[in-house]
Structure 1
Amino acid sequence: MEEVTLYILQESLFSFEDLIQIHSKDRLPIFFSALDLRPYAKELRSRSPRGAGGHCREGILRALLAAPLEHIQTFTGLHHRLETDLRFRYQCGLSLDREAPSIATLSRVFADLTKKNLAKQLFDDLVKRCRQEGVIDGSHVAIDSAAIHAYEEKKPKRKSEQTGNANWGAKFDSFGNKVTWFGYKLHLAVDTQSELPLALEVTPAHVNDGEMAPGLIKTVTAETDVKFFMLDAGYDQMKVYEAARNVKAQAIVPLNPRGEKEPPAGMSTNGTPCCSMGFAMTYWGADDDVLKFRCPHATGKVDCPLGMTACSSSNYGMVVKVDVKDDLRRYSSPHRDTKRWKELYNERTSVERCNSRMKTHLTADSLHVWGIQKVTTHQYLNAIVLLVSALSVTGKKNKIAV
């Protein structure tokens, strides 16, 4: 008991790393304490007299969720663990006086989970609960995609495009190297404060990131008000800015130099007006959608040979105002390159850390199912583990505090 308490008392909003460091025999009761799977298990009950071996559906569902947390990658591995580890089987709520669920039974329940879309339903319910309990804030959201390698046999690109499942994808890594893979993309929208997933989509690997962002933006804002969406330069597309604007949010996206057109006359690439002498003007705040810029000589940013007299008779210097709505892509509130804009963009790393947890500590990139629907269920189970981990650790902290 003392060992468990030491981990849980650490100060952290989301202590997934704390949870996975706890020994399995102590971790699983904490994890399952935050879950009531009865409504979902009820939907999995078979009306066939043969059923899925007559095993408790709630117990099998628990086992399917415990598998990513225990880094069990296959139904074979899960069956073996249930068969040989009686404590694990008991903690999953499965009977000890009969054989463990077979590989076929586990696979059949997983297929039923997929067919009835129950993993998504459980995920959505948990996101809502995390919001209600203050675990998720949701006002700042980061969006990105991650490569997921397929279990299917590799196929030529032309053939794989016809299936709507695994395909060839390519991305540039942080060093500018082109990386290719055969499989899928996991598109994630993540709360930047808690680093927890809010929405996800799975697509074949060749699907462009920018195509998926508007849908994720719409999904996230259906339940909560979002102020900012942080995305990398791969999402620098007008449809992304418009999607954020439609829900009264601001997309924080670096301008992608590839395919960049010349900026409007008298305007720098990042949307800063230039004075008559060609100097970039000084950003001086915003009033809702209107950005204000002042003479750079008046603000001490440059030493203009003509001073302020050539542009304005006022001691305040020339002022230019720009409406963000005139060009949603080039103009941003807060203005690009300001300290505030950079602070917001830096929050984008939260989605990278979420992706890393799902792929490194869980089993998001260890597929042993094929077909995009089953792969999507697999990703939802991994995302559910993150949400439940946060709820269980937070709940345990609250109990201890009381």
Structure 2
Amino acid sequence: MPIIRQESLFDMQVLYDLEPTHRFNSILSGIDIHPILNVVTKKSRFGPPQTLNYAAMIYLLIVRITERIPFIKDLVKRLESDLRFKVDCGFLVSDEIPSEASYSRMITWVSESDALEIVQECTLLMAMSEGFISDEIVAIDATHVEARDCAPQKKEAVEKETKKRGRKKKEEREQWLAEKAEEEASLPLYEKKIADQLDILLSELRASVPIHPEWGVKKNSEGKNVFWFGFKIHLAVGAESQYILQSLFSSGNLNDGKAAIPLLKGIQERLASLKIAYATMDAGYDYAPIYEQVYRMGAQSVIAYNKKNEPEPIGFDRHFAPTCVCEHSYRYDSFDKKHETLKYTRPSECADCPLAHDSLCQKVYKKKITDDLRKYTAPARGSLKWKQLYKARSAVERVNAYLKGYFLLNQIYHRTGKKAKLHVDLVQLAYNASKLAIDRLKVLQTIAA
């Protein structure tokens, strides 16, 4: 992957230069596993005694991700053949080595709960309290992961409607409109319009996400559609800190834009002390409700514009800056936060224009961003500041590359969506915990120096 050859997000070698014992301790010290232990440990004193070391088993699931061990079978073999590895992962020498079946049962229990999401949030709050997360820019994007199950046949043909064509009578049209409204109201949440998500609670948004494998489509470098069967992982990443602030796991056919509002609401509600100033995304997220959600958070949108067969604006250039009579673009000057107004000044080309002193060519032009949040952003589209902020979006692409290259994101072998989601949550937890461990080590090195 060429993207991995760019400047590192963080120095992974700092961790791998440590002895396994210190490396595992550094990573696992940023993870509070008590919510998971409450799910898997025995609740009653009755029945057979509990002989497995569940705390060490949980830690081992995270170590498996960082050590890039693809299968539970290989993990069990490593425990059986490597006594030092067993002890480094938290097992006692006398502890029973868990079987594949024991791990399968534990994974099922955890996948049926929200314990892992609680643990992820605790790790993020820990990093925030230590001053490692203070981002003003959040970058959002999605990446696809293929399912390992045999994909069903992709439906190529679409059944043709046999209904009678032509204009409907007034009574028929009213009935048809009523039926259509009723049908749309009964659709699942993520099949409705994105605007319907704005007033839905975060808990409902997350609970309603489809997580079964489905056919998805993406464009390759040649602009051609490429189909794949599996899942999508949607990430919101701190552009400066490089931590994964929020994630969403979904079916492969979910539109990228339908995951943006849940991610933004997750940051707003679960990381309330983090004040985001800008949210940057590519043209796949250019939907008015997403701008509205960012605006409700008190932040500004930096999203690439998707023309969508819209007519060319009259009196404005392609960045929606006003133009003079001679069609020169006004220059973006500043943004007035109090009045939420963009200020443009006369183009430099108009200095020698005979209309410069005429009322036809005004000196200053102001535009309120609330007139159209999608077109009028702060800073203004096309400005140097806007371009610099948009470049920060590459952070989420690079994190996606790291997750696939170093944290087994591409290797989902579970057949059910819940267990596949558990694997992705473990990948995210292992990544954030590794990032926290490296940040702590860098602070210690600075103090020692």
> Contact 2:139–2:393 at 8 Å: present in 1 too?
yes
- Tell me how far 1:216 sits from its aligned partner: 0.6
Q: Distance in 2 between matches of 1:158 and 1:243?
A: 35
Are 1:247 and 2:302 an aligned pair? no
Distance 1:174 1:254, change over 3 A: farther
* Aligned-pair Cα RMSD in Å: 2.5
- Structure 2 counterpart of 1:242, one-letter code: E
Q: Distance in 1 between matches of 2:22 and 2:317?
A: 58
Q: Distance in 2 between matches of 1:44 and 1:135?
A: 31
Q: Which residue, 292, 295, 311 being the options, matches 1:262? A: 311
Q: Distance in 2 between matches of 1:308 and 1:362?
A: 60
Are 1:282 and 2:279 an aligned pair? no
Are 1:320 and 2:317 an aligned pair? no
Listed one character per residue, the Cα deviations across residues 102-128 of structure 1 (whole Å, up to 9, x for unaligned) are 011111111111112211111111111
Q: Distance in 1 between matches of 2:79 and 2:244?
A: 29
> Contact 2:32–2:122 at 8 Å: present in 1 too?
no
- Structure 2 counterpart of 1:68, one-letter code: I
Three-state SS of the structure 2 residue aligned to 1:147 is: strand
- Residue 191 of structure 1 aligns with which residue? 238
Are 1:136 and 2:133 an aligned pair? yes
> Contact 1:358–1:364 at 8 Å: present in 2 too?
yes
> Contact 1:312–1:318 at 8 Å: present in 2 too?
no
Q: Which residue, 111, 116, 120 being the options, matches 2:117? A: 120
Which blocks of at least 5 consecutive residues in structure 2 are unaligned? 1-7, 157-190, 192-209
- Residue 309 of structure 1 aligns with which residue? 357
Three-state SS of the structure 2 residue aligned to 1:97 is: coil
- Residue 212 of structure 1 aligns with which residue? 259
Three-state SS of the structure 2 residue aligned to 1:265 is: coil
- Tell me how far 1:38 sits from its aligned partner: 3.9
Q: Distance in 2 between matches of 1:110 and 1:164?
A: 17
- Structure 2 counterpart of 1:44, one-letter code: V
Which contiguous aligned blocks of 4+ residues in structure 1 show a shift greater than 6 angstroms? none
- Tell me how far 1:399 sits from its aligned partner: 4.2
> Contact 1:55–1:94 at 8 Å: present in 2 too?
no
- Tell me how far 1:174 sits from its aligned partner: 5.1
Distance 1:219 1:349, change over 3 A: same
Listed one character per residue, the Cα deviations across residues 69-111 of structure 1 (whole Å, up to 9, x for unaligned) are 0101221121112222211111111232244210111111111
Are 1:333 and 2:378 an aligned pair? yes
> Contact 1:293–1:321 at 8 Å: present in 2 too?
yes
- Tell me how far 1:21 sits from its aligned partner: 5.3
- Residue 94 of structure 1 aligns with which residue? 91
- Residue 168 of structure 2 aligns with which residue? none
Q: Which residue, 30, 36, 47 being the options, matches 1:40? A: 36
Three-state SS of the structure 2 residue aligned to 1:186 is: strand
- Residue 384 of structure 1 aligns with which residue? 429
Q: Distance in 2 between matches of 1:363 and 1:18?
A: 20
Q: Distance in 2 between matches of 1:166 and 1:17?
A: 35
> Contact 1:285–1:291 at 8 Å: present in 2 too?
yes
- Residue 291 of structure 1 aligns with which residue? 342
Q: Distance in 2 between matches of 1:165 and 1:103?
A: 24
Distance 1:89 1:158, change over 3 A: farther
Q: Which residue, 228, 236, 248 being the options, matches 1:201? A: 248
Three-state SS of the structure 1 residue aligned to 2:143 is: strand
- Tell me how far 1:34 sits from its aligned partner: 3.1
Q: Distance in 1 between matches of 2:221 and 2:125?
A: 34
Q: Distance in 1 between matches of 2:62 and 2:152?
A: 31
- Residue 420 of structure 2 aligns with which residue? 375
- Tell me how far 1:266 sits from its aligned partner: 1.1
Distance 1:395 1:305, change over 3 A: closer
- Tell me how far 1:139 sits from its aligned partner: 1.9
- Tell me how far 1:14 sits from its aligned partner: 4.3
- Tell me how far 1:237 sits from its aligned partner: 1.0
Three-state SS of the structure 2 residue aligned to 1:61 is: helix
Q: Distance in 1 between matches of 2:222 and 2:132?
A: 34
> Contact 2:341–2:369 at 8 Å: present in 1 too?
yes
- Residue 57 of structure 2 aligns with which residue? 60
- Residue 167 of structure 1 aligns with which residue? 214
> Contact 2:211–2:231 at 8 Å: present in 1 too?
no
- Residue 71 of structure 1 aligns with which residue? 68
Listed one character per residue, the Cα deviations across residues 120-170 of structure 1 (whole Å, up to 9, x for unaligned) are 1111111111111111113210000001111222113469x9x85101111
Q: Distance in 1 between matches of 2:351 and 2:222?
A: 38
- Tell me how far 1:32 sits from its aligned partner: 2.4
Which blocks of at least 5 consecutive residues in structure 1 are unaligned? 1-11
Q: Distance in 2 between matches of 1:17 and 1:349?
A: 22
Instruction: Report 1:383-402 matches (<5 A).
Output: 383-400=428-445, 401=447
TM-score by length of 1: 0.88
TM-score by length of 2: 0.79
Percent identity between matched residues is: 27
Three-state SS of the structure 2 residue aligned to 1:211 is: helix
